Amino acid sequence: MTRFAAPIAEQIWDMKYRLKDAGGTAIDLTVEDTWRRIARSLAAVEDDPKLWEDRFYAALEDFKYLPAGRITAGAGTGRAVTLFNCFVMGTIPDDMGGIFDMLKEAALTMQQGGGIGYDFSTIRPKGAPVAGVAADASGPLSFMDVWDAMCRTIMSAGSRRGAMMATMRCDHPDIEAFIAAKSDSARLRMFNLSVLVTDAFMEAVKADGPWELTFGDRVYHTVQARDLWNKIMRATYDYAEPGVIFIDRINAENNLSYCETISATNPCGEQPLPPYGACLLGSINLARLVTRPFEDGADIDSDALDDLVATAVRMMDNVVDSSKFPLPQQLEEARNKRRIGLGVTGLADALLMVGLRYGSQEAARQTSDWLRRIARAAYMASVQLATEKGAFPLFDADRFLASGAMMRMDEDVRAAIRKHGIRNALLTSIAPTGTISLYAGNVSSGIEPVFAYAYTRKVLQKDGTRTEEEVVDYAVQMWRDLKGDAPLPDHFVNAQTLAPLDHVRMQAAAQEWVDSSISKTINCPEDIGFEAFKDVYMAAYESGCKGCTTYRPNDVTGSVLSVAEEKPPAEAPEQVRGGDGEGAEVVYMSEPLDRPQALEGQTYKLKWPDSEHAIYLTINDIIVGGHRRPFEVFINSKNMEHYAWTVALTRMISAVFRRGGDVSFVVEELKAVFDPRGGAWVKGKYIPSILAAIGGVIERHMVAIGFLEGEGMGLKSDPQAQVVNLDLPRGRPCPSCGQYEMRMVEGCMTCASCGHSKCG
For the segment 569-620, what is each residue's pLDDT rounded down to a tens digit? 333 333 333 333 333 333 333 456 667 778 888 899 888 876 777 888 999 9
Q: Residue 268 catalytic?
A: yes
Instruction: Indicate if the pLDDT at residue 275 is higher than 80.
Output: yes
Name, in order, each residue with C-beta under 8 angstroms of 502's C-beta and a sequence gap of 6 or more.
358, 359, 360
Task: Please give the average per-residue pLDDT across 685-693, as a whole number.
Answer: 85
My answer on whether 676 and 716 are in the same domain is: yes
The Cα 542–Cα 135 span in angstroms is 44
Residue 274, domain member (yes or no): no
Residue 430, domain member (yes or no): no
The Cα 422–Cα 424 span in angstroms is 6
Instruction: Indicate if the pLDDT at residue 760 is higher than 80.
Output: no
Instruction: Indicate if the pLDDT at residue 469 is higher than 80.
Output: yes
Instruction: Indicate if the pLDDT at residue 465 is higher than 50.
Output: yes
Higher local confidence (pLDDT), 187 or 203:
203
The Cα 475–Cα 345 span in angstroms is 13
* Reported pTM: 0.77
* Catalytic residue chosen out of the listed positions 53, 253, 260, 270: 270
Phi/psi zone of residue 747: left (φ > 0), alpha (ψ -120 to 50 degrees), beta? left
My answer on whether 591 and 709 are in the same domain is: yes
Residue 352, domain member (yes or no): yes
pLDDT of 440 = 95
Q: Which of 144-153, 454-463, 507-516 has the lowest mean pLDDT?
A: 454-463
My answer on whether 594 and 469 are in the same domain is: no
* Catalytic residue chosen out of the listed positions 85, 255, 266, 494: 266
pLDDT of 158 = 45
Percent over 70 (pLDDT), the chain: 85
Q: Residue 270 catalytic?
A: yes
Instruction: Indicate if the pLDDT at residue 333 is higher than 50.
Output: yes
My answer on whether 97 and 235 are in the same domain is: yes
Cis (ω within 30 of 0) for the bond into 140?
no
The Cα 384–Cα 417 span in angstroms is 9
Residue 608, domain member (yes or no): yes
My answer on whether 754 and 716 are in the same domain is: no
Cis (ω within 30 of 0) for the bond into 489?
no
pLDDT of 648 = 86
The Cα 343–Cα 431 span in angstroms is 7
Residue 73 is part of which domain span? 7-83+280-420
Task: Please give the average per-residue pLDDT across 702-715, as a whole number.
Answer: 74
My answer on whether 232 and 104 are in the same domain is: yes
Q: pLDDT confidence of 193, banded at 50, 70, 90? A: very high
pLDDT of 651 = 86
My answer on whether 105 and 210 are in the same domain is: yes
The 10 Å CB-count burial string (b at 16+, else e) for 46-76 is: beebeebbebbbbbbbebbbbbbbbbbbbbb
Could you report the per-residue pLDDT of 391-430, keeping only the tens digit for each? 999 999 999 999 989 999 999 999 999 999 999 999 999 9
Higher local confidence (pLDDT), 623 or 735:
623
Percent over 90 (pLDDT), the chain: 62
The Cα 564–Cα 131 span in angstroms is 60
Q: pLDDT confidence of 112, banded at 50, 70, 90? A: confident
pLDDT of 460 = 65
My answer on whether 512 and 632 are in the same domain is: no
Residue 155, domain member (yes or no): yes
Q: Which of 24-33, 258-267, 356-365, 465-474 has the lowest mean pLDDT?
A: 465-474
Q: pLDDT confidence of 515, banded at 50, 70, 90? A: very high
Residue 534 vs residues 204, 386, 438, 525, 550: alpha-carbon distances, Å: 16, 45, 33, 13, 10
Beta strands in 377-495 (DSSP E): 454-460, 466-472
Instruction: Indicate if the pLDDT at residue 639 is higher than 90.
Output: no
Cα–Cα nearest to 106, from 264, 339, 266, 327 = 327
Q: Structurally, how many domains does the chain consist of?
A: 5
Angle at 43 between CA 40 and CA 48, to 5 degrees: 115
* Catalytic residue chosen out of the listed positions 86, 268, 754, 759: 268
My answer on whether 189 and 240 are in the same domain is: yes
Residue 500, domain member (yes or no): yes
Task: Please give the average per-residue pLDDT across 62-91, as a whole number.
Answer: 93
Q: Residue 266 catalytic?
A: yes
My answer on whether 211 and 358 are in the same domain is: no
pLDDT of 522 = 93
Residue 668, domain member (yes or no): yes
Instruction: Indicate if the pLDDT at residue 133 is higher than 80.
Output: no
Instruction: Label the pairing between strands 281-285 and 65-67.
Output: antiparallel
The Cα 424–Cα 340 span in angstroms is 7
Task: Please give the average per-residue pLDDT across 337-358, as a whole number.
Answer: 97
My answer on whether 58 and 181 are in the same domain is: no
Residue 576, domain member (yes or no): no
Amino acid identity at 701: H
What percent helix, strand, coil does the chain show, rounded to 5?
Answer: 40, 20, 40
My answer on whether 735 and 715 are in the same domain is: no
Task: Please give the average per-residue pLDDT across 221-235, as a whole number.
Answer: 98
Instruction: Indicate if the pLDDT at residue 43 is higher than 90.
Output: yes
pLDDT of 721 = 33
Query: Packing angle between helix 361-389 and helix 411-420, nearest 10 degrees?
Result: 20
